[in-house]
Amino acid sequence: MSDLLKLQPANIWKNFQELCNIPRPSKKEAKAIEFVVNFAKKHKLAYNTDAVGNVTISKPAVKGKENNPTIVLQAHLDMVPQKNSNIKHDFERDPIQPFVDGEWVKAKGTTLGADNGIGVASILSVLESNEISHGPIEALFTIDEETGLTGAFGLSDGFITGKILLNLDSEDEGELIIGCAGGMNTTATFNFKKEPVKGNHIAYKLSLTGLKGGHSGVDIDLGRGNSNKLLNRFMWNADHFFEMRLCAIDGGNLRNAIPRESFAIVTVPDQHAHDFRQSVGSFHKMYIEELAGVETDIKFTAEPVSIPDFWIDKSTQERLLDSLYALPNGVIRMIPEMPDVVETSTNLAIVKSDESQITVSCLLRSSVDSAKKDLGNMIESIFDMAHAKTIHDGEYPGWKPDLNSSVLKLMKETYKKLFKKEPEVKVIHAGLECGIIGDVYPGIEMVSFGPTIKHPHSPDEKVNIKTVEMFWKFLTEILQEISQK
């Protein structure tokens, strides 16, 4: 704690440290909600909650600014719960352990929660400050942004009144985000029959670990390995050459994170065991060579384990492995007018089995609705051929950019005045709540910005200390500039 409290701006890092002490994985934000409500009570600020758990806190304008436009400051309370497999951490009970590493703040073996904890901490800092000249402020804290956008979807007319919204959930300092991709979940289910393990077989636990993972939107164009695709590639070959049988599979755990680790329990006949193990080594070497310069710590192992209770029936195994091999993954198309921005992508996020089913979950993103639906149909057609049941749900709209926004113009001018350079105005491939908020509150002007956060949604997440200071300076200046208009 002492490390963070030595940093500037002290108020942001104090509030962020308090957030780190509060377990708040998506869909488990009750303690974070309680925290911001108690914050409002402590500072004698009006607050309101809605049926889904969103919170607003209102701060009156400073004297003389009462008639200025109300500014909505928005961030989400939840965080992505990801950890390295060798770390013992319960995200529903244990605090995050942040530490300073040179120019960055990181966490010990887990996601840091700077996404979107720095945004939340900054809003709290505005609410408690007596040094900012501003008009009326509404702080909007939403829930469950990372796994379902439940908070944004649950917003009702009148919960906020401001016509200008600053979303504090972007991750590159110096960028002003004015548009984002929409998304959709596609989930396939394979029902299987249990078959008794027969004959002389050796069982192995396959483990593919050490990948970087990351955000399935902003990091999807980095060419990082997808552990589900890589493990399936090996198993497809082992099925063909070593009579491998699949008993259980567990790959990835969040739809919006590129999977870093995948595991499977398999068996092979005694006579193929030696060649099977050699093949694991060959594939390990091949993965390292193919992903050189992108992945630096790939591990692929086969550890002998006890013979399991059953095999997944052969037909389901083959249909699963074939469909996963054929499934598209990664970038599908770039935006022609903005060739450095992804238009459409898909992430093979989760593959898990239980006692009777195998579930495959993908997150599709696109800034073009028709392209998103076409990609969903493409994936569904693959699963149809594999006789799996497919559903599409959780669809959310993209955020259409408004290049003529007066708030955007003011923010560009203010940024240049403060830092003597032009900010980048961008559309991003990640999903932001702004698209949904814009549907609920038509005509609201929105811009998203934030400090530099690298590798969100992975245990490598880190936030740059200097950019937090720049972000705070920019945010407080904007509140004062907008108040003058």
Q: Which residues are catalytic?
A: 78, 145
Give residues with Cβ within 8 angstroms of 212, minimum separation 6.
224, 225, 258, 260, 294, 295, 296, 455, 458, 460
Closest CA to 228 of 256, 252, 257: 252
Place of tokens 């919204």: 165
Distance, in Å, from the CA atom of 208 to the CA atom of 228, rounded to the nearest integer, reads: 9
Distance, in Å, from the CA atom of 280 to the CA atom of 257, rounded to the nearest integer, reads: 25
- What values do phi and psi take at 330, rounded to 5? 100, -155
Distance, in Å, from the CA atom of 443 to the CA atom of 440, rounded to the nearest integer, reads: 10
Tell me how far CA of residue 409 lies from CA of 332, 427, 434, in angstroms: 33, 16, 18
Closest CA to 39 of 130, 127, 113, 133: 127
Q: Compute and round to an integer the Cα radius of gyration of the chain.
A: 24
Distance, in Å, from the CA atom of 360 to the CA atom of 343, rounded to the nearest integer, reads: 23
Per-position DSSP letters for 373-416, written without gaps between them: HHHHHHHHHHHHHTT-EEEEEEEE--B---TT-HHHHHHHHHHH
C-beta of residue 193 within 8 angstroms of C-beta of residue 472: no
DSSP H helix total and E strand total for the chain:
12, 25
What is the amino acid identity at position 448? S
Distance, in Å, from the CA atom of 335 to the CA atom of 325, rounded to the nearest integer, reads: 26
C-beta of residue 137 within 8 angstroms of C-beta of residue 161: no
